[in-house]
Amino acid sequence: MASAIPSSPVDRAPEHTQSTERGPAPGGPPAAGSSTEPRKARRSKHRNNRVAYAFLAPWFIGIFGFTLIPMGYSLYLSLTKFDLLTSPKWIGLANYKALWQDPQFLKSVTVTLEYVLFSVPLKLALALVVAVALNKGLGALGFYRSVFYLPSLLGTSVAVSVMWRQIFSQQGLFNQFLSWFGIRGADWIGDPRFALWTLILLSAWQFGTPMLIFLAGLKQLPRDLYEAAALDGAGRFRTFFQITLPLLSPMVFFNLVLETINAFQAFTPAYVVSGGSGGPINSTLFYTLYLYQKGFGSLQMGYASAMAWVLFLVIGVFTAIYFAMSRRFVTYAN
């Protein structure tokens, strides 16, 4: 799993580190300080074992007690029928088989994939456009950064989901706005054709985080390339697609991985907007919402564990695909 870490912008030098490396290649080992380690420390082998393990004691309890062992337990539970109150009953792969015959499960997979496929590119496109605009060296940058970031910060709260529900309800803000132009809006939340799109829009509205990351990346692009391009008479679009975008590709990649994982795990908006039901004809039955309903609504813990493992594998596969793609599309400067 460690190889699945995208090269994070952290690696590419916050102001306080004077790192000369431009972030490790994706999939490469996350340089554990090995290069910067003074030779002195290497002379005696692991002389700090006891101290280090003392410092790491809480982490060890956490990683084993609350992460690794529970994951193993969850794999076991996924092979059982378990209602929390009586002890788990072994049923082999029956839960996994049942998943593929459960129309609601299949619906939740479709809904989630649709959500990921549309919300992530939309969000990243907005983030990129605004970041490029903010990078033009105009004043009030701090103001814009903060205001555009604000929805990202508040976005996962129940309050914002409540607000969204009001905006896109039949008599809501959005329809009033449309009525200025003589358009009679639909019941966006109540109509299965549109319900998911209101949530995609809610996600796109929160483009602030990837925007900040793009902005940090844009600041590091070498100026001389742009001067050369200008001398060659390259237009604005050519410059963007042939210089900016390739140079920014590590950031695009990082944001893509991060936002995809986040989108797969979305829960609050779907729960709040649909009142926990999954919306009209299950049109907003997100994967995690269905998992919640199964696990904590009807206490089918074994079934829900199987779902959790499928999600885990799917996210793993997506990440692997991204990394395979990144070898072709991500370019690193230097």
Partner 1 sequence: MALLPQSGQQRTWNHWRLHTILLTAVIVMIYPLIWMVGASFKPENQIFTTLNPLPLHFTLRGYTSGWTSTGTSFTVYLANSATVAIGAVLGNLIACSLAAYAFARLDFAFRKLWFALMLGTLMLPFQATLIPQYTIFFKLNWVNTFLPLVVPQFLATDAFFIFLMVQFIRGIPRELDEAAAIDGAGHLRTFVSVILPLLRPALITTAVLTFIWTFNDFLRQLVYLSNNTRYTVPLGLNAFIDRASGSSYGDMLAMSVVSLVPTMAVFLLAQKRLVDGVANSGIKG
Residues in 33-92 at the binding interface with partner 1, rule: CB under 8 A: 33-34, 36-38, 41-42, 46-49, 51-53, 55-56, 58-59, 61-63, 65-67, 69-71, 73-74, 77, 84
Cβ 329 to partner 1 shortest distance, Å: 19
Distances (CA, A) of 135 to 122, 148, 244, 245, 321: 20, 14, 12, 14, 31
- Per rule CB under 8 A, count of chain residues that contact partner 1: 126
Task: Please give the Cα distance from 139 to 202 (Å, whole number).
Answer: 28
Q: Which two tokens stand for residue 92?
A: 């082999």
Cβ distance to partner 1 smaller for residue 282 or 293: 293
Q: Are 315 and 264 in contact (CB under 8 A)?
A: yes
- Give the SS3 label for residue 81: strand
Query: According to CB under 8 A, which residues from 206 to 245 bind partner 1?
Result: 206, 208-209, 212-213, 215-216, 226, 229-230, 236, 239, 244
Q: Which region, judged by CB under 8 A, interacts with partner 1, from 89-97, 154-162, 184-192, 322-330? A: 154-162
Binding partner 1 (rule: CB under 8 A), the pick from 105, 115, 264, 286 is 264
The reply to whether 136 sits near partner 1 by the rule CB under 8 A is: yes
Taking the complex as a whole, the smallest distance from the CB of residue 278 to partner 1 amounts, in Å, to 15
Inter-residue contact 84 to 297 (CB < 8 Å): no
The answer to whether 273 and 161 are in contact (CB under 8 A) is yes
120: part of which helix (H) or strand (E)? helix 103-134
Q: How far apart are CA 270 and CA 108, in angstroms?
A: 11
Site for partner 1, residues 9 to 28, rule: CB under 8 A: 9-11, 14-19
Q: Tell which one of 256, 305, 323, 326 touches partner 1 (CB under 8 A).
A: 305
Interacting positions 171-210 with partner 1 (CB under 8 A): 171-173, 176-177, 205-206, 208-209
By beta-carbon proximity to partner 1, the closer residue of 70 and 121 is 70
- To which H or E segment does residue 301 belong? helix 301-329
Going by the DSSP 8-state scheme, the letter that residue 56 receives in this structure is T
